[in-house]
Amino acid sequence: MKVLLTLLLALSLPLSALAQEKKEEAEGENAAPKIIYVGIVPALVGNYSSGTKMKFYKADISLKVTGSEAEEKVKYHEPLIRNQLVQLFSQQTDESLGSMDSKEKLRQEALKQVKQVLEQEEGKPYVEDLLFNNLILQ
C-alpha cells in the first residue's frame, strides 16, 4: 500500500507543476500591457534661428510605448524619428519656444510627427506620448 501511495505521489508531482506553470502563463496573458519608456539617445542637440543670432537647444526625449513590439519598432526607426525631430526643432524661434504653452505645443507637434513617421513606416503609430526629460535653450 505504501508503495502504491508513493508511486501515486511521484506521478502527481509533475502534473501539479505543469498545472502551476499553465496558471502562471494564463496570469501573464491577462496582465496589463507593459509600459516602456524609450529614450532617444544621445540627446538631440542643434541650433535654431533667432533673428540675427543663432541659438542652441538640447532636448532629452523619451517616448512612451506599450509592449516590447512597440519598443522594438521605435528603436528600429530611431534614426528616422531623430531626423524628423531635429528638423522640427531647427525650425523653431524664440517666440515658439518662449513660454510653457509654446513648449507644450512643440511637444504635441513632436509627438504628432513621431506618430506620423511610424504610421508611414509600420502602419501603426505605436507611440502613446512624448516627454521632454530636459529641454535646454541657449
**Domain spans, the chain:** 1-31, 35-137
Q: How buried is residue 88: exposed, middle or buried, by Cβ count under 10 Å (0-12/13-18/19+)? A: middle
pLDDT tens by residue, the chain, 138 residues? 666 555 544 555 555 555 566 555 555 566 788 999 999 999 999 998 877 888 999 999 999 999 999 999 999 999 999 999 999 999 998 888 888 999 999 999 999 999 999 999 999 999 999 999 999 988
Of 97, 84, 81, the closest CA to residue 48 belongs to 97
The strand pairing partners of 44, in sequence order, are 59
Question: What predicted TM-score, i.e. pTM, was given to this entire model?
Answer: 0.75
Of 41, 113, 38, the closest CA to residue 68 belongs to 38
Query: CATH assignment of 35-137?
Result: 3.30.479
List, for residues 37-65, the tens digit of each pLDDT value: 999 999 999 998 877 888 999 999 999 99
Place of cell 523619451: 62
Enumerate residues 6+ apart whose C-beta is below 8 A from 68. Answer: 34, 36
Give the integer Cα–Cα distance in Å for 21 and 96.
Answer: 55
* pLDDT score at 58: 95
Enumerate residues 6+ apart whose C-beta is below 8 A from 15. Answer: none
Q: What order do you get walking across the sheet with 53-66 strand by strand? A: 35-50, 53-66, 127-137
